[in-house]
């Protein structure tokens, strides 16, 4: 009903979160993205809205739009256009080094959340690399298949000019004067439970997944004294932030998330092998990285 190029204008704006990012991705003008997205919505009888910083579509034509997206994903799988993958901000440094001509990369500016699951389920992207849900809801949709890639320790990170950046043997009381940002505890309930055992003097300032990712970007501004959660991969290759000298009793399992019907696709196998090979190379520089060999698999919500 619509061309892959027209649907890509709408879907990349939803996926990447802005018309300007979609324009760069689609190599066109932002005004063209807006116009063609509006036309696609009119054709399918849906409307574009925004909630908590994320775009969404609604209306009576949703099912027709879903069917069209399925056809266009098949078009990508058959080589009509590059496949799409995105990943968590927590492993962005790892993913930024990855290059494969058969895939278009996202911005790696989100942490895992229900929205990232929806990107896969709605077929806006073909793969997601990020933390594996630590306590999936048994009633959740099991349409997403996960291949565990590696495990990496969670750490507290700050700007290099932060007052605690060079301090040794930091305790939880040392953190109290500084704002500590954290994603919503509902995203990682068992991790939250383990962090509570550390007896922090004050609670973190919880943020939605989208807002948390944006705040981390702002935290990199000079003289910002916020403390936020990251991983050794978050810090890989970074010259402006460091990990604090305090050990957290938590590690994140990172996995490749795809729709279950696509898990045996040759392109997914190639991506999985390429990610594992890159992790093997990186493990020499990040000894804390624990590779999952052989890879464990599960059906969970990401």
**Average pLDDT of the residues in 172-198:** 76
* 302 pLDDT higher than 60: no
Q: What is the mean pLDDT of the chain?
A: 82
Tens-place pLDDT, residues 150-174: 888 888 988 888 999 999 999 989 9
Query: What percent of the chain is predicted at pLDDT more than 70?
Result: 82
Distance CA 272, CA 103 (A): 12
Question: What pLDDT, on a 0 to 100 scale, did the predictor assign at position 55?
Answer: 93
Distance CA 89, CA 134 (A): 17
Going by pLDDT thresholds of 50, 70 and 90, the confidence category of residue 228 is: confident
* 185 pLDDT higher than 70: no
- Report the run of H or E that residue 234 belongs to, with start and end: helix 232-235
**Average pLDDT of the residues in 189-207:** 73
Tens-place pLDDT, residues 231-256: 877 777 677 888 899 998 888 888 99
Question: What pLDDT, on a 0 to 100 scale, did the predictor assign at position 298?
Answer: 40
Domain extent listing, the chain? 1-81, 83-302
**Average pLDDT of the residues in 128-149:** 72
- Indicate the Cα dihedral angle 189, 194, 198, 204, nearest 10°: -20
- Fold that domain 83-302 belongs to in CATH: D-Maltodextrin-Binding Protein; domain 2 (3.40.190)
Of the two residues 22 and 89, the one the predictor is more confident about is 22
Asked whether the domain spanning 83-302 has the same topology as the one spanning 1-81, the reply is no
Q: Pairing mode, if any, of strands 290-291 and 144-159?
A: antiparallel
Q: Could you tell me which CATH number the domain at 1-81 has?
A: 1.10.10.10
Q: Pairing mode, if any, of strands 83-87 and 127-131?
A: parallel
Which residue in 105, 104, 150 sits closest to 252, CA to CA? 150
Going by pLDDT thresholds of 50, 70 and 90, the confidence category of residue 143 is: confident
| SS3 category, 221 | coil
Distance CA 126, CA 224 (A): 36
In terms of C-beta density within 10 A (0-12 exposed, 13-18 middle, 19 or more buried), how is residue 186 classed? exposed
* Dihedrals phi, psi of 47, to nearest 5 degrees: -125, 150
Question: What pLDDT, on a 0 to 100 scale, did the predictor assign at position 88?
Answer: 87
| SS3 category, 211 | helix
């Amino acid at each position: 009903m619509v061309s892959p190029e027209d649907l890509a204008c709408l879907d990349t704006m939803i996926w990447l979160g802005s018309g300007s990012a979609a324009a760069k991705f689609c190599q066109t003008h932002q005004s063209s993205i807006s116009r063609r997205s509006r036309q696609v919505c009119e054709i399918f009888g849906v409307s574009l809205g925004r909630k908590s910083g994320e775009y969404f579509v609604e209306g009576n034509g949703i099912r027709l739009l879903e069917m069209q997206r399925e056809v266009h994903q098949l078009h990508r799988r058959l080589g009509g256009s590059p496949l799409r993958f995105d990943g968590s901000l927590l492993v962005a440094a790892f993913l930024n080094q990855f290059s494969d001509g058969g895939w278009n990369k996202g911005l790696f500016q989100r942490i895992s959340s229900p929205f990232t699951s929806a990107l896969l389920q709605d077929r806006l992207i073909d793969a997601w690399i990020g933390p594996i849900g630590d306590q999936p809801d048994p009633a959740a949709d099991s349409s997403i298949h996960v291949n565990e890639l590696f495990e990496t320790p969670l750490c507290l990170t700050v700007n290099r000019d932060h007052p605690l950046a060079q301090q040794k043997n930091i305790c939880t009381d040392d953190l109290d004067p500084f704002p500590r940002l954290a994603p919503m505890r509902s995203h990682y309930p068992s991790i939250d439970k383990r962090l509570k055992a550390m007896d922090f003097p004050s609670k973190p300032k919880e943020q939605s997944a989208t807002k948390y990712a944006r705040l981390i970007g702002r935290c990199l501004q000079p003289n910002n004294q916020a403390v936020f959660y990251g991983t050794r991969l978050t810090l890989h290759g970074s010259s402006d932030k460091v990990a604090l000298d305090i050990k957290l009793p938590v590690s994140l399992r990172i996995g490749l998330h795809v729709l279950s019907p696509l898990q045996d696709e040759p392109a997914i196998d190639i991506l999985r092998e390429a990610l594992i090979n890159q992790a093997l190379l990186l493990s020499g520089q990040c000894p804390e990285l624990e590779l999952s060999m052989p890879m464990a698999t599960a059906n969970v919500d990401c």
